[in-house]
A = this chain, B = another copy of it.
């Protein structure tokens, strides 16, 4: 079975996000004053080939924990869609 995984990795809410802060200020300088609290993270899509949805989930989690996410500074969530 093949799945598409959509993974969103964001800086933890408790931490400052300097990139987001810079973007917020740039938006204000562009005159977009109604926009605030920007936070910038990563969005990762990948294809998972696995025998079952449970195996696909396990593989995706492993990829997140081993490579894609720095658990000290980031949180993640993902969805799997069969294709």
Contact = CB atoms under 8 A, between A and B. Distances in A.
Interface of A: 8-10, 20, 23-24, 26-27, 30, 32, 34-50, 55-56, 59-60, 62-63, 66-68
B46 A36 contact: yes
Contacts of A60: 35
Contact of A59 (B35, B59, B68): B35
B49 A36 contact: yes
A48 B32 CA distance: 10
A38 B6 CA distance: 10
Given A30-B67, A32-B62, A47 B42 contact: no
B30 A39 contact: no
Given A30-B67, A66-B30, A67-B30, A23 B44 contact: yes
